[in-house]
Structure 1
Amino acid sequence: MNMVFRNVFLIVACISLAFTFSCKQKKQKQKKVITREMLLEHNRNLVDLENKVIRDYLDTIGIEMQQSKTGLWYKIDSDSVGETAREKDMVHLNYKIMLMDSAVCYSSEKNGMWSFEVGKGSVETGIEEGILLMSEGDEASFILRPNMAHGLSGDGDRIPGRAILLYQLELIKIDRSEHKSE
């Protein structure tokens, strides 16, 4: 009888192992392969969602903005007749960077004027593009989707990952002294 029990136990154990192994193989076969097309579709959906959030925000606050081909939302308030910014210019700005809930992340009021060389790639891509639309003395508002600002990770401090950001800028001065001889 002991031998029969042992044989039955071995048969049940073998069947259980075979069943478990076949289930794992089925799960492995069912794993979805992520393709480039799937990633592109997911990215398009994110961009559509971000644009809807931006349009809803603009409708709520009653402001009209234009959208560039790259996705930069902008509004330039220009009464100035100053020089237009161009690559290699050193620009000096007063600024306010906010989240969509109006929480201020950074501002020139607290951190001082923002200065950088246009076209050098040292600032957000959306700001590089937007500055080229401005002239000395202009004020502008820009809305940057995450891909044009701080991306998936944020800035590690005050800007969270995947944040849509609102920039309010005033182009105080353009300095061309570095490339006048070109």
Structure 2
Amino acid sequence: MNNYKSLAIALVSIIFLGACNSEKQEKTADGVEYVLIESDNGSSFEEGDFAIYSLKLIDSKDSVMLDSKDVGELPVQINDSILSTRGPLFSILKELKLGDSIKTKLTASQVLTEGFQQPVAQDKDGAERLTVYAKAIQKLDTAGFMEWQQQKRAEAMEKMQKDAEKQKGIDDEIIQGFLSENNIEAEKTESGLYYMVTEETSGEKPESGDTVRVNYVGKLLDGTVFDTSYEDVAKESDVYNPEREYGPIEIPIGKGRVIRGWDEGIMLLNEGSEATLYIPSGLGYGPRGSGAVIPPNSSLIFDVELVEVK
């Protein structure tokens, strides 16, 4: 009886170990090696099909560089003549079947430069080995892919709106805190713009489409000056550009040629007036920021003078 029991345990162990060790070393027709982690024996992708992949990139320090869960899935049209020029990653992807998931190690240059035709970041070494996980999750024809794109656009728009609404509340709290801390009394518009007129005049107000001339100083809430039309302020604040012509800038107002906070704020003023605008990020540069000077989701301060309405 004990012999039968031992045999049964051994068989179960063999089956269990076989199930856990189902990964297979594979090689593409181009000679690129990868590990097949899982396969559903799904259908192959044919020339012209649209394949949707999930993708995850992990660097040599085990930090996640990219994850489809955060940035969305990767759509690829199967076109051998094009994909064969995009390096080893796409050599693997084009040979996967629906439901296949794989793991491979490739250099940053192979993935980014060859695969996605993007430069390797300055803080990365092109020879750094990245661990790549990918899975073929959908197979679509042209009509199906167009529908997929529309759905993704709608989802992205909905997410942007939700994020913007959430950020609007955060910005308002930050600006209110700043005003309270500095004993500033400012008026608030329906959009969330705060403003304080510091020099009132009886000049005409600009209307949408008018050309105006404006002097300004742009600052972060911590007081850092990032741009100005005044040469002396630029020199004092270490943002002077000798190639720039200083003085009032001339812009059409109310036409989206400047940030929304300016379009709205300048039209609240009379010609000759001066004011300080406290602009939430949604009316400024939003989640992208602006270069290295204005971080993402930054509320901004602009001291402005409406010099002339043309």
Fraction of identical pairs, as percent: 26
Partner of 1:158: 293
Give, as a single letter, the amino acid of the residue that structure 2 aligns with 1:153: R
Q: How does 1:30-49 map to 2 (within 5 A)?
A: 43-49=164-170
Displacement, 1:72? 0.9
Partner of 1:144: 279
How has the CA–CA distance of structure 1 residues 151 and 174 changed in structure 2, closer, same or farther, with 3 Å as cutoff? same
With 70-79 and 136-145 compared, the bigger mean Cα shift is at 70-79
- The alignment status of 1:11 with 2:15, answered yes or no, reads yes
Q: Distance in 1 between matches of 2:224 and 2:173?
A: 20
Displacement, 1:83? 1.2
- Which of 173, 183, 192 pairs up with 1:52? 173
Partner of 1:126: 261
How has the CA–CA distance of structure 1 residues 9 and 41 changed in structure 2, closer, same or farther, with 3 Å as cutoff? same
Displacement, 1:57? 0.4
- The alignment status of 1:72 with 2:177, answered yes or no, reads no
Compute the TM-score of the two structures, normalised by the length of structure 2: 0.46
Residues 21-76 of structure 1 deviation map (CA, whole Å, 9 limit, x = unaligned): 9xxxxxxxxx9xx8988876654433222211111100111111111111111112
Give, as a single letter, the amino acid of the residue that structure 2 aligns with 1:60: E
Q: Secondary structure at 2:298's aligned position in 1?
A: coil
- Which of 184, 196, 199 pairs up with 1:63? 184
How has the CA–CA distance of structure 1 residues 82 and 38 changed in structure 2, closer, same or farther, with 3 Å as cutoff? closer
Quote the RMSD (CA, aligned, Å): 3.0
Partner of 1:25: none
Partner of 2:302: 167
Is the strand fraction higher in 1 or 2? 2
Q: Distance in 1 between matches of 2:158 and 2:286?
A: 21
Pairs aligned (count): 160
With 42-51 and 100-109 compared, the bigger mean Cα shift is at 42-51
Give, as a single letter, the amino acid of the residue that structure 2 aligns with 1:12: F
Q: Distance in 1 between matches of 2:10 and 2:223?
A: 73
Q: Secondary structure at 1:75's aligned position in 2?
A: strand
Displacement, 1:153? 1.1
Which structure is higher in RCO with an 8 Å CA cutoff and minimum separation 6? Answer: 1
Q: Distance in 1 between matches of 2:218 and 2:273?
A: 17
Compute the TM-score of the two structures, normalised by the length of structure 1: 0.75
Partner of 2:48: none
In structure 1, the gaps of 5 or more residues are: 22-30, 176-182
How has the CA–CA distance of structure 1 residues 119 and 37 changed in structure 2, closer, same or farther, with 3 Å as cutoff? closer
Q: Distance in 2 between matches of 1:40 and 1:119?
A: 22
